[in-house]
Structure 1
Amino acid sequence: MSGYLTGVLVVLAFNVMAAYAVYLPMAAGQLNLGIAGFMAVGAYAAAYLTNEMMWPMWMAIPIGSAAAGLVGILIGIPVLRTHGIYLALATFALGQVIAAIFLNLEVVGGAAGYPVTEFASPYVVFAAAIGVTLFMVLLSRTRYALYLTAVKSDPTVADLMGISVRGIQVSAFALGAAVAGFGGAFYAHHYNFIEAQHFSVLLSVYTVLYVLFGGTQTVWGPLVGAAFFTLVPELLRASEQWRYALFAMFIIVFMALRPQGLITASLFRIFRRRPKAAAGTEAQGKGASA
């Protein structure tokens, strides 16, 4: 595998992990624009453990993820009292505050950045992204996924059915933060250098776009959206300065024609019906020949 292809796939792996971090709270009806801040928490926490405490990387990364999840719980409890645009603004401000803290925290390099000693190879990053994807697929087949859908669809009805709406919202927010911290920890150990400026609001906005474009109705939407935003600009590289304009025009046209996203629940139902219809036709043919 060439170095260029490996680099593109590594970026794709990080984008997939970030997309699923946004997808979890969005599945409960929450728009988190501060996901980059939680990635920063995981990155700096894991890097500090490997650099200063001499922890092995395989121990530091889960702790960094847990630290981001804990911050998600502590912040999510008061922040999730807001809704709609106010929640988006609150999480936006949260991401900015976290980035500013690390930008001025001299113990982890401050504005100069923070070198990281341990190295995570590209194949380790690939394995991490695959692991996050499998975890999300398994989670989508549990009762918890049904609770998320119920809370997103109608919190009042979900509450009347005995679902702890507040608990589901906080858990989805915290779990998304933990996934973001997991990706951030691997980012720190793959590139061996982190700086607070990387975890900006633009990173959060781009990640939200991955999920919205891919679709929030199924667990595969974030994966497809992240792949599209990562790979298509590279395929358009031959058009040089026009590639971003062409890419933006395509997104505008596509979202106007399909605002629900690329992968939808109805699309999956269509593919499920086709094998059943084919099997029914085959059975009718055998019955007629008999």
Structure 2
Amino acid sequence: MSGYLESQIVILCLSIIYAYGIFLPAASGQLNLGAAGFITLGAYASGWFNLSDGFGLSLYASIALSMLFTGAISFMIAFPILRTRGVYMVLATFAFAEVVSGLTINMEFLGAAAGMPVDAHVPVTGLVIAAIAVILFGFYFMSTRLGLALRSIHDDESVSILFGVNVRLAKVAAFTVGGMLMGLGGALYGHHYNYIEAQAFHVLLSIYILLYVLLGGTQTAWGPLVGAIFFTVVPELIRNLAIEIGSSWLADSRFIFFGGFIVLMMVIRPEGVVTRTMQDRIGSMFTGGRSKKPGKAE
């Protein structure tokens, strides 16, 4: 495998993990712009747990503890953040990410602005396995009672309350589990590249990850997968096309076309590429347009 292809696979796997971390709260209508903060927490926590100068734990123990640590932080901040709605929640989560970035840059035992080396290494195969596991978990999570509750909250919160859904508990759970997944992504980032610096987890990363989910769609578990693949693969395909035809202008301007396409998609299909209606139609194609009714055999 070439170094270029391996690097693209690594970026894709990490993007998928990040996207599902944002997708879970977004499934209930929570727009989280603090992805970079949770990723930073996971990366630094796992690196510190694994360092011989830190706790000196094994690779798997360090990753697991970093997920628990990130989940605990997510749980604690969920209660004040989830009191906000809409753009105010976006600003609150963005502020959280900026606070985390500012703290890590000024902590000397974490290497401050110079960054921190990480001991144990996770190969690309480990990232692929983790990404597949997160995808399967995302589909399973959305099929549970909690996942169905998140869907109902997204559609109509007032009706969900009338049907006995504990809206606050469901949102906190989704926010916490999403934070744990982003912590996992951060830990894998640090252990793959064996070095962490806070500047790598900037606000543009948070924006990109949120766009993965919004463009792919928040109605089904296919959304973040489609969005992450699109954002990772399409710009590289345009760049390779520019190299093939020898157009340096296209290579330099590919993000202009890419950005224009995203704006067009948001105007034409604001609910995202993959919707429940599309999923049901595709499913009916494989079942011949028939659906089983409870209590009746075909």
TM-score of Structure 1 vs Structure 2, range by shorter chain: over 0.9
**1:93 deviation in Å?**
0.4
Within 1, Cα distance between the matches of 2:279 and 2:289?
16
Residue matched to 1:164: 166
CA contact (8 A) 2:235 2:254 kept: yes
Deviations 1:126-181 (A, max 9, x none): 11111111111111221111111122222222222222111111111111100000
Indicate how the Cα distance of structure 1 residues 166 and 279 shifts in structure 2: closer, same or farther if over 3 A, else same. closer
Residues 1:96 and 1:279: Cα distance change in structure 2 (over 3 Å): closer
Whether 1:252 and 2:263 are equivalent positions in the alignment is yes
1:80 equivalent in structure 2 = 82
Question: TM-score, structure 2 length as denominator?
Answer: 0.91
State the alpha-carbon separation in 1 of the partners of residues 157 and 2 from structure 2: 49
Give the match's secondary structure for 1:41: helix
Q: Is the 8 A contact 2:284 2:290 kept in 1?
A: no
The equivalent residue for 1:4 is 4
Match of 1:263 in 2: 274
The residue type equivalent to 1:200 in the other structure is H
Q: 1:112 to 1:271 in 2, by over 3 A?
A: same
- Identify unmatched segments of 5+ residues in structure 2: 243-249, 292-298
Residue 278 of structure 1, CA deviation: 7.1
In structure 2, the partner of 1:220 is: 222
Superposition pairs for residues 57-96 of structure 1, below 5 Å? 57-96=59-98
Q: Secondary structure at the match of 1:55?
A: coil
Deviates more, 1:247-256 or 1:129-138: 247-256
Q: Is 1:272 aligned with 2:283?
A: yes
Query: Aligned AA for 1:273?
Result: S
Partner SS for 2:57: coil
Give the Å deviation of 1:102.
Answer: 0.6
Distance 1:254 1:109, change over 3 A: same
The aligned amino acid for 2:100 is I
The match for 1:135 is 137
Q: Could you tell me how far 1:279 is from its partner in structure 2? A: 8.0
Residue equivalent to 1:120: 122
Partner of 1:15: 15
Using a 3 Å threshold, how does the CA distance of structure 1 residues 145 and 278 change in structure 2: closer, same or farther?
closer
Give me the whole-angstrom Cα distance separating, in 1, the residues matched to 2:253 and 2:39. 32
Aligned counterparts of 1:152 and 1:250: Cα–Cα separation in 2: 26
Residue 26 of structure 2 corresponds to residue 26 of structure 1: yes
Aligned to 1:54: 56
Distance 1:80 1:277 in 2: 43
How far apart in 1 are the matches of 2:287 and 2:189?
44
Consecutive unaligned residues in structure 1, runs of 5 or more = 281-290
Pairwise CA RMSD of aligned residues? Answer: 1.4
Q: 1-side partners of 2:62 and 2:36: how far apart?
A: 19
How many corresponding residue pairs?
Answer: 280
Q: Distance in 2 between matches of 1:149 and 1:264?
A: 12
C-alpha spacing 1:48/1:15, structure 2 compared with 1 (3 Å): same
